[in-house]
Structure 1
Amino acid sequence: MQKICVIGGSRYFGRLLVKRLQAAGHQVTVINRGSTRPPAGVEHLVVDRNDEAALVAALGTRTFDAVVDQVCYTPVQAATAARAFRGRTRRYVMTSTIEVYDPATAALTAVPTATPVPEETVDPSTWPVSTDLPWHDEAYLEAHYAEGKRQAEAVLTRAAGFEFASVRSAHVLGGGAREFTGRLAHYVERIARGEEVTVHAEALPTVFIHYEELADLLLWAATAADFTGPINACSDGLLDVRDLSAVVAARTGRQPVYRTVARGETASPFSFCRHYAMSNARAKRLGFSFSRTTDWLPGAVAEALTASAVRTA
């Protein structure tokens, strides 16, 4: 049994992670602001992780084998966590994102379109950090989501007092109504109603991961693995927007209606005009086995169809 702290953990794959940690026999503590209670038997610390003094007070004398941070979005939050958990945990795992590789958000080394992007494309040990930017402004944070994650990784990579690993998640799908982003529902509902799906003229592929697989990977990263640095978390197989729509079409019985967007016009989610589909080779070398996206995606579409029918009934 290990003592694991989860910051966030109130919804989607974070909540599932908490349940899986508990089922594996670990002693789990969840930290959030109290809007959602964790499952019975899980210790709950109600505190705003942005309030360093309150966080330190809530932690008291607790120590952990690992911390899994689900809701770290800025270098300021990362710095607060680094100070609060220094000497309290052996290992710190942060949930990051595929968006750190988006070439539209930073000057990155170009990776050939046919080549999945490796972790070293964004090296947190050398990435510049600016904590004096307006990270507390919600509009600024939303517009600089990818950079916030890059800088948060950088701060925690350089922190002393614990091992640090970041899990850069692909686009997460599955779970029907639990999939709170609504991106898969966008396709299910539009294709089922015969409405147009907007796409780029040459839409490039991306990568996905099922929410249960991501929860399993985070559990492994926190309790069984000993790697440090970033790993990419994505199921095997690249899909573009038309591949995704074809799976939805097979379930709905309706053919997609596409409209190509003009330059500068926003397309449907998962239609990309730039390449940043990740490679999962490092995670495989470290011992994690991934599913294939095409194996679980039809089931995820079926769940989204059911959830959509419930919403519109």
Structure 2
Amino acid sequence: MKNILILGGTRFFGKRLVQLLLDEGHKVTIATRGNTEDGFGDEVGRIQLDRENKESLAKAVEGGKEWDTIYDNICYSPQAAQDACDVFQGKVKRYILTSTLSVYEPASRMHEEKDVNPYIYPVTLGGKNDFSYGEGKRLAEAVFFQNADFPAVAVRFPIVLGEDDYTGRLEFHIDHVKQEVPIGIPNLQAKMCFISSSEAAAFLSWLKNQRVEGPINARSQGDVKLSELMGWIEKEAGKKALITKQITDSNKSPFGVPDSWVMDTNKAERLGFQFQPLRSWLPALIRQLSMQDK
């Protein structure tokens, strides 16, 4: 049994991760602001803290607490990363940071982990409002791998989808097609990769037992052109999508990238993780979400 702390674990794949860890018999503590009900009752421990405040973060080690594994799903800046390096020094055996495909720029080729090397990336400290999302994550990774005294790994996830996705990114497209409202997509030939919330949680749970450090890409097997993705949505909605290259704030697609945005997962696969084929779950999810409005 491991003693596990999850920074952010009350919704989406973080909540799924908590359940997997409990099912495996681990002792799990959730650390959040306490604004969202998690539904786990007395199965988990709880620490109420502000991830962006170093003094508050230190509550996680009060009383000499130490952790086998810490999952950090809510680190968005280099300063937050440095705070964790300071607070958890000598207090954790393994640190797993949730990072993102956004550390890479869209490109026609498939990205490998080495394309953004956090071990040599120049560090600039600042809060999450000082950087774009992608740059904040690049810098957070750099801080952990250059400054932490504990083993760390950064999981670079693409867009995570599921029926529990509180952002409604897939529903945006389904609703726009059903309502015959234009969707702003600059390049329908761009390829995208995704991962389901259940697979994201499964990967994070699996990773705690692997002897690996540094960045690691994780996505479902395969990719899909946006034109094909929109075709799946059109099929379930029973209507033709109105695609426009005239992008506005109201019609901008959450998937609207100028070029392909995919990454290589050979590193994870060599370690033994088998990713689900994208086509085994994404069309079914679109069908499920489309039915909810009927």
* Aligned twin of 2:36: 36
* Aligned twin of 1:147: 135
Q: Give the structure-1-normalised TM-score.
A: 0.87
Q: Deviations over 1:135-190 (max 9, x none)?
A: 254xx44xx11000000000011234311000000111111xx2122210111111
Change (3 A) 1:90 1:201: closer
Runs of 5+ consecutive residues of structure 1 not aligned to the other structure: 104-110
Q: Deviations over 1:23-68 (max 9, x none)?
A: 1111101111111244121000011122222332442211111100
Amino acid corresponding to residue 32 of structure 1 in structure 2: T
Amino acid corresponding to residue 163 of structure 1 in structure 2: P
CA distance in 2, matches of 1:8, 1:49: 9
Where 2:192 maps in the other structure, the secondary structure is coil
* Aligned twin of 2:288: 303
Q: How does 1:1-313 map to 2 (within 5 A)?
A: 1-38=1-38, 39-40=40-41, 41-60=43-62, 61-102=64-105, 113=108, 115-131=109-125, 133=126, 135=127, 137=129, 140-141=130-131, 144-175=132-163, 178-201=164-187, 203-222=189-208, 224-261=209-246, 267-308=252-293
My pick for the range that moved more, 85-94 or 185-194, is 185-194
Aligned residues: 291
Structure 1 residue 243 displacement after superposition: 1.4
Runs of 5+ consecutive residues of structure 2 not aligned to the other structure: none
Structure 1 residue 283 displacement after superposition: 0.8
Structure 1 residue 269 displacement after superposition: 2.2
Amino acid corresponding to residue 68 of structure 1 in structure 2: Y
- The percentage of counterpart residues that share the same residue type is 32
* Aligned twin of 1:107: none
Amino acid corresponding to residue 66 of structure 1 in structure 2: T
Q: Give the structure-2-normalised TM-score.
A: 0.92
CA distance in 2, matches of 1:121, 1:51: 31
Structure 1 residue 209 displacement after superposition: 0.4
Structure 1 residue 304 displacement after superposition: 2.2
Amino acid corresponding to residue 76 of structure 1 in structure 2: Q
